[in-house]
Amino acid sequence: MKPVRTLIIRTAGSNCDYETVHAFKHAGSEINLVHVNEILANNIKLEDYHILAIPGGFTYGDDISAGKILANELKYKLKDQLDQFVKDGKLIIGICNGFQVLVKAGLLPEVQLNNGSQLVTLTDNDSGKFEDRWIYLKPVSKKCVFTRNMENIVYYPVAHAEGKFIPKSREVLQNLIENDQIVFQYINADGSEPDYPWNPNGSVNNIAGICDSTGRIFGLMPHPERHYHPVQHPRWTREGLKKDADGKIIFHNAVEYIKEFFSEKQKHKTLIP
């Protein structure tokens, strides 16, 4: 197949875009980092890409609420392109502010771009302050494409003020559990139930990341792109270098999935976008 192509969207306030570029590039993907206005002006089309990534930061200053303005741009101005992108079996990832964008745009926990009600949100941390620390995560979902073959606890940094995950109802939470859509949960260093600061924001059920029912749309508050290399671990000089950093697998899984998926489509002589 043609090279895997990843589109990374930035706008005013994005600040993790270059780290996300680095991660996907080293995972083997071609990259295009573009301002959202380039897509809105039809200079860039989603159909030309296999992976869509929305990085962290504070888009538009989070002036209304975290990620809300960019979410509205996606929901109301790019609905048709996003609908087709999802139908084509492609991948979407939102990290930190990108996760906030995905839930407020109606792409998580299920695609509801047709003015569907928002089922979950990410709101102010229980601590009432910006949380900037490294935390432990337990991989939960066997469905999520991005976390395939992840079994061990991982260590990622967080940096957010509005990261508390809240489902709209108990029914929504139960559906996430039953459908295997909870991808990551915060956990203590010893593997026990976390309290603050190991759950840095007070998220319900310690949820740090979820996917849609297909496993192809993924959002998480922690930053795997900031732990792509072993030397980014804050204690590597004391504990020694690991062979691989904990965040690397997220991006490699995405690229490998696209290669496998579209190679299979080629075998069946299906038109590849």
pTM as predicted: 0.95
Asked if residue 100 belongs to a domain, the reply is yes
CB-CB contact of 6 with 29 (8 Å): yes
End-to-end CA distance of the chain: 11
Asked if residue 273 belongs to a domain, the reply is no
144 is catalytic: no
Q: Which of 162, 225, 227, 233 is catalytic?
A: 225
- Structural domain of 243: 5-267
223 is catalytic: yes
Of residues 220 and 262, the one with the higher pLDDT is: 220
Asked if residue 245 belongs to a domain, the reply is yes
96 is catalytic: yes
pLDDT of res. 258: 96
- CATH number of the domain within which 236 lies: 3.40.50.880
Asked if residue 251 belongs to a domain, the reply is yes
pLDDT digits (tens, 9 = 90+) for 182-207: 999 999 988 899 999 999 999 999 99
Asked if residue 272 belongs to a domain, the reply is no
With 50 as the cut, is the pLDDT of residue 10 above it? yes
Q: Which of 19, 73, 96, 233 is catalytic?
A: 96
With 80 as the cut, is the pLDDT of residue 59 above it? yes
pLDDT of res. 114: 67
Phi/psi at 148 (5° precision): -55, 135
The total domain count for the chain is 1
Asked if residue 107 belongs to a domain, the reply is yes
Calpha distance 244→218 (Å, rounded) = 22
Q: Which of 50, 160, 223, 233 is catalytic?
A: 223
CB-CB contact of 14 with 39 (8 Å): no
Handedness of CA 228, 225, 183, 199 (dihedral sign): positive
